[in-house]
Amino acid sequence: MARVTVTRRLPDGGLDSLRVAGHELVENARDHPFDAAQLADAARTSDALVCLLTDRIDRAVLEAGAGHLRVVANVAVGYDNVDVRAATDLGIAVCNTPGVLDETTADLAFLLILAAARLAHDAEADLRAGRWAGWGILQYLGQDVHGATLGLVGYGRIGKAVARRATGFGMNVAHHTRHDTGLPGWVPELDRLLAESDIVSLHVPLTHESRHLIGTAELARMKQSGVLVNTSRGPVIDEEALAAALEAGTIFAAGLDVFEHEPEVHPRLLAAPRAVLLPHVGSASIATRTRMAQVASEGARAVLAGETPPNLVTSG
Ligand code: DGY
């Protein structure tokens, strides 16, 4: 029997495979985020950690578990919160939850595409605040989504799921990745994709290369009527630059589900016009969040049983 610390409360049923395997589960009954010392303590006293993207599992935390911590199972597909290199050095496996949140996240990306392009947030805010004086032919004039060109930056499972939805809207879909996908619509240059797209949606993991991938220069490439959507990771966009572009009207609108310094949101973005801002809810459906917890738990169970889980992350 191994000792498994679960850093936050998870959806019902999420830990079943670990329970059935007979492991001791140490749950966070108060559901308060662990600080660095509590995470290190959990690593020091556990064989496995089941954690969330809000837990910073850095080298210091992993070193605290050196010698007996066997696996960190992150309940997220993104794992930029885990120092995978340090984990590899220390012989600690890292697992994530690929494949179970693509469709739910793509739904949310599409929600942001529609809401931002059609100024749904501004219109609803006016209505709720009693500022709507009746139908007006010049009110809330947005950009059409049907027939528009959608530029996807990153073309993994979620990007492709967004592309499938776009086809139903009669959109032209292009994608940019650093390496040729060999698929129709691949655009080798990011600048060209930005310049030619009506709507740009970001689907890249956060790495050293993708940090501030979209900054002042890239925003300047976009059409003045362009809409930028981000459901990947906040730091992929330079938020200061995006706020400036929205304020100056050099792009039309933005839809963001992720932020550079969550849960803080840049005050200029909060005040920026034509921005739809959501609190990182891309995968937030009951079924998907439950499945994510199950996949992470299953990864931890497998490592503890000496098996290789299919969702093992490597540092290459
Ligand atoms: C992830 O899994 O990486 C998402 O950001 C949370 O659903």
Residue range 253-290, pLDDT digits in tens: 999 999 999 999 999 999 999 999 999 999 999 999 99
**How many A from CA of 75 to the centre of ligand 1?**
8
Active-site entry in 8, 203, 221, 280: 280
In tens, the pLDDT along 23-67 reads 999 999 999 999 999 999 999 999 999 999 999 999 999 999 999
What kind and span of H or E run contains 175? Answer: strand 172-176
Give me the helix-helix angle, 102-117 and 157-168, nearest 10°: 50
State both tokens at 246.
Answer: 């929205």
Active site residue 233: yes
Give the integer Cα–Cα distance in Å for 276 and 117: 10
What's the confidence (pLDDT) of residue 315?
77
Give the integer Cα–Cα distance in Å for 267 and 271: 6
What's the confidence (pLDDT) of residue 300?
98
β-pairing, 71-74 vs 93-95, is parallel
Give the integer Cα–Cα distance in Å for 96 and 142: 38
Give the integer Cα–Cα distance in Å for 14 and 286: 11
Q: What global pTM score does this model have? A: 0.97
- Measured from the Cα of 97, ligand 1's closest atom is 2
What's the confidence (pLDDT) of residue 129?
98
- Ligand 1 site residues (CB inside 6 A) read 53, 76-78, 101, 282-283
**How many A from CA of 78 to the centre of ligand 1?**
6
Give the integer Cα–Cα distance in Å for 178 and 47: 38
Q: Which domains, ranges and CATH numbers included, belong to the chain? A: 3-100+286-313 (3.40.50.720), 102-277 (3.40.50.720)
Q: At which residue do the structure tokens 């937030």 appear?
A: 284
Supply the residue whose CA is at minimum distance from atom 1 of ligand 1. Answer: 76
Q: Is the peptide bond before 184 cis (omega within 30 degrees of 0)?
A: no
**How many A from CA of 212 to the centre of ligand 1?**
19
- Measured from the Cα of 79, ligand 1's closest atom is 3
Active-site entry in 165, 211, 262, 268: 262
Regions of the chain with pLDDT less than 70 = 316
Active site residue 262: yes
Contact 97, 74 (CB under 8 A): yes
Give the integer Cα–Cα distance in Å for 237 and 210: 9
